[in-house]
Amino acid sequence: MRNTAKLLVILLVFGACFGIFAACEPKPDHEHTWVNGVCTQCDAEYELVDYVSQLKLDENSSTEKTAPGGAELVRMYIDGDTTHFNVPVTDKHPEGVLKARYLAVNTPESTGQVEPYGKVASNFTKKTLQDAIANGGKVLVESDSDEWENDSYGRTTAWVWYQPEANADWRNLNLELLQKGLGFGSSVSENRYGETCLAAVEQAMRAKLIVHSGVKDENYYYGQAQEITIKELRTNFEEYELVKVAFDGYVTASYDGTSYVQQYDEEDGIWYGISVFYNGSGSDIKKALAVGSHVRVVGTAQDFNGTWQVSGLSYNIINTKDPANTFKLDDEIHDIDPVVLTIAQFNANRTVDVIDHTAESDEIVYVPKTYPLHTLLVGTRVKMVDLIVDHTYTTPSGTSKDAFTLYCKDSSGNEITVRTEVLNKWNEETQRYELVTADEFECKTITVIGIVDWYNYDNHNEYQLRVVDYNDLIQA
């Protein structure tokens, strides 16, 4: 009996101790420090909740919805939190375009003054929707309430849903941007899916994902240069005079130490251009600015004889991919077609949204401004067909001796000036280059490919086409 009691006591003590040890989970020897969902000390991964898969689309709700569609629905991709969609013409959308500003999320800028991770977020939104459509999925846009509502800039605030593939469950792209840390929360709790969006934002902040990580965007230059688009440089140049700027674009022409770089703006449907002066720069910069290159340009914006250019380029030969360098972004040769225009279109007014630098706001504010289209296209390569050469002029002396001007009209009598550099053409018989004269084009009908240029003489401002290659003057 006494032995039984002892055994019972031993078992109770052992059981108690076992219970204590069993109840104690092993603890890490440090507090996790998360960066992009991974502990910097032990490589543990943050257990992320997929809120996107939990949120369901109620197709029978009272909210407004676009008919599910594919490529025919998406009109154009703007940036991470803005997409334009084709919709039926209504009083709310008189042009048949729903300019959707994604609810609850604010991604970094990529269309004016570029911000860190702005292009990352923009590329994610574009690729996600493109891949969904390519895989047979659909896209749907939903209002937050029983009717479409606009923000203060006239954009429709909306939820964007997509199917990753045909017949797949709907996923909410606004929520996904928040969940992946590609944007900051914006009035998160004040909308239809606020609770879920708030949970996604808080998780992204705890796991320190992307915009919350404190890690620098490897494709963004954090130095003294201002990351902008060519459109922003073209429409607000006074804000950047003598400022070091950085942008990317395609080289479409080059002549006498100057290359012309263009960048396409999805929202405006315009190629914006700028001249980049590289004469005196090293050979690496000259190679980077060869025609057909997709290039990153870093240099100083400045006024030059009444027009605008970027110069003062730098190059670090030790680190060729230094973001302070001007360098090629890939090794491909890109053939960018010239913008085909009539003279009437060249001179017509065009309204675009530009950054308002006088606005007192934490967010970038855009305002509509109207310009003659040619003022926006300076530095851009364009093409005009069936121009009739009315008369010509050849420069008799000086540094431009033998360059000539063609004064052209179209069939409606609209006029435009075509100015050439000194041109030469290859003569097969003599096997030599020979000077091209204006006589060859007198009273002829021609197609012209040239760079939009601004010329001032006798206080008269004129927008013209500048031709730098004989092959860009094509006789009918």
Alpha-helical (H) ranges within 273-376 are 283-288, 343-347, 373-376
Give the whole-number percent of the chain exceeding pLDDT 70.
Answer: 92
What is the four-CA torsion angle of 419, 394, 257, 299, rounded to 10 degrees?
A: -50
DSSP H or E stretch at residue 133: helix 118-134
Sign of CA dihedral 25, 28, 33, 36: negative
If pLDDT is split at 50, 70 and 90, which confidence band does 190 have? Answer: confident
Look at residue 460 and tell me whether its pLDDT is greater than 80.
Answer: no
What digits encode the pLDDT tens for the residues 367-398?
Answer: 899 999 999 999 999 999 999 999 999 999 98
DSSP H or E stretch at residue 312: none
Look at residue 24 and tell me whether its pLDDT is greater than 60.
Answer: no
CB atoms within 10 A of CB 126: 18
Angle at 432 between CA 431 and CA 438, to 5 degrees: 125
Give the whole-number percent of the chain exceeding pLDDT 90.
Answer: 66
Strands 327-328 and 294-304, sheet pairing: antiparallel
If pLDDT is split at 50, 70 and 90, which confidence band does 420 have? Answer: very high
**Confidence at residue 331, expressed as pLDDT on a 0 to 100 scale:** 93
Q: Of residues 75, 101, 381, 466, which has the active-site annotation?
A: 101
Look at residue 263 and tell me whether its pLDDT is greater than 60.
Answer: yes
Closest CA to 197 of 343, 417, 49, 33: 49
2 labelled catalytic: no
Closest CA to 476 of 452, 445, 431: 445
Domains of the chain: 51-212 (2.40.50.90), 226-336 (2.40.50.140), 375-475 (2.40.50)
DSSP H or E stretch at residue 86: strand 82-86
Q: Of residues 64, 75, 142, 155, which has the active-site annotation?
A: 155
**Confidence at residue 16, expressed as pLDDT on a 0 to 100 scale:** 47
Long-range contacts of 68-77 (CB under 8 A, 24+ apart): 68/138, 68/139, 68/140, 69/138, 69/139, 69/140, 70/133, 70/137, 70/138, 70/139, 71/133, 73/139, 73/141, 74/129, 74/133, 74/139, 76/266, 76/267, 76/269, 77/122, 77/125, 77/126, 77/129, 77/266
CB of 179 within 8 A of CB of 102?
A: no
Average pLDDT score over residue span 182-197: 93
239 labelled catalytic: no
Which residues, in sequence order, are CB contacts of 221 under 8 Å at separation 6+?
227, 246, 298, 323, 324
Q: How far apart are CA 473 and CA 470, in angstroms?
A: 6
CB of 448 within 8 A of CB of 339?
A: no
Task: Please give the structure tokens belonging to residue 301.
Answer: 């914006």
**Tell me, what amino acid is at 204?**
A
What digits encode the pLDDT tens for the residues 60-107?
Answer: 999 999 999 999 999 888 889 999 999 999 988 988 999 999 999 999
Q: Of residues 109, 142, 176, 227, which has the active-site annotation?
A: 109
Q: How far apart are CA 344 and CA 415, in angstroms?
A: 9
Strands 339-340 and 381-394, sheet pairing: parallel
155 labelled catalytic: yes
**Confidence at residue 41, expressed as pLDDT on a 0 to 100 scale:** 81
